[in-house]
Structure 1
Amino acid sequence: MNHIYWPEGYEPGFTENFVSNEVIVAGLSAAQIWPLLAIASNWPSYYANSANIRFYDNAGPELANNVRFYFETFGFPVEARCNEYQAPANGEPGRVAWHGWAGEEGADDRLDVHHAWLVEDLPGGRVRVLTQETQKGKPATDLARTKPNPMLNGHQDWLDGLVQAARNAANAG
Structure 2
Amino acid sequence: MSDIIWPEGFVPGFTDNFCSNEVIVAGLSTNDIWPLLNTPALWPTYYANSANPRFYDDKGPELENNVRFYFETFGFPVESKCVEHVAPAEGQPARVAWHGWSGEGDTRLDVHHAWLIEDLSDNRVRILTQETQNGNPAKELAATKPNPMINGHQEWLDGLVEAARKAK
Q: Compute the TM-score of the two structures, normalised by the length of structure 1.
A: 0.97
Q: Secondary structure at 2:106's aligned position in 1? A: coil
Question: For residue 152 of structure 2, what is the aligned residue in structure 1?
Answer: 154
Cα separation, 1, equivalents of 2:86 and 2:39: 13
Opposite residue 25 of structure 2, the aligned amino acid is V
1:34 aligns with 2:34: yes
Cα separation, 1, equivalents of 2:153 and 2:134: 17
Task: Report the alpha carbon displacement of residue 94 of structure 1 after superposing the two structures with TM.
Answer: 0.5
Cα separation, 1, equivalents of 2:136 and 2:83: 23
Cα separation, 2, equivalents of 1:16 and 1:30: 31
4+ residue segments displaced more than 2 Å: none
Task: Report the alpha carbon displacement of residue 77 of structure 1 after superposing the two structures with TM.
Answer: 0.2
Q: Which runs of 5+ in 1 are unaligned?
A: none
Task: Report the alpha carbon displacement of residue 45 of structure 1 after superposing the two structures with TM.
Answer: 0.4
Cα separation, 2, equivalents of 1:5 and 1:119: 13
Number of aligned residues: 168
Question: For residue 126 of structure 1, what is the aligned residue in structure 2?
Answer: 124
RMSD (Å) for aligned C-alpha atoms: 0.4
Q: Secondary structure at 2:44's aligned position in 1? A: helix
Task: Report the alpha carbon displacement of residue 91 of structure 1 after superposing the two structures with TM.
Answer: 1.4
Cα separation, 1, equivalents of 2:32 and 2:144: 34
1:83 aligns with 2:83: yes
Q: Following superposition of structure 1 onto structure 2, how do residues 112-123 of structure 1 map, counting pairs within 5 Å?
A: 112-123=110-121
Task: Report the alpha carbon displacement of residue 90 of structure 1 after superposing the two structures with TM.
Answer: 1.5
Deviation string 1:127-164 (CA, Å, 9 cap, x unpaired) is 00000000000000000000000000000000000000
Opposite residue 102 of structure 1, the aligned amino acid is S
Task: Report the alpha carbon displacement of residue 57 of structure 1 after superposing the two structures with TM.
Answer: 0.1
Opposite residue 12 of structure 2, the aligned amino acid is P
Question: For residue 70 of structure 2, what is the aligned residue in structure 1?
Answer: 70
Cα separation, 2, equivalents of 1:82 and 1:67: 5
Opposite residue 22 of structure 1, the aligned amino acid is E
Q: Secondary structure at 2:164's aligned position in 1? A: helix
Question: For residue 11 of structure 2, what is the aligned residue in structure 1?
Answer: 11
Cα separation, 2, equivalents of 1:88 and 1:120: 8
Cα separation, 2, equivalents of 1:37 and 1:52: 15
Aligned-pair identity in percent equals 73
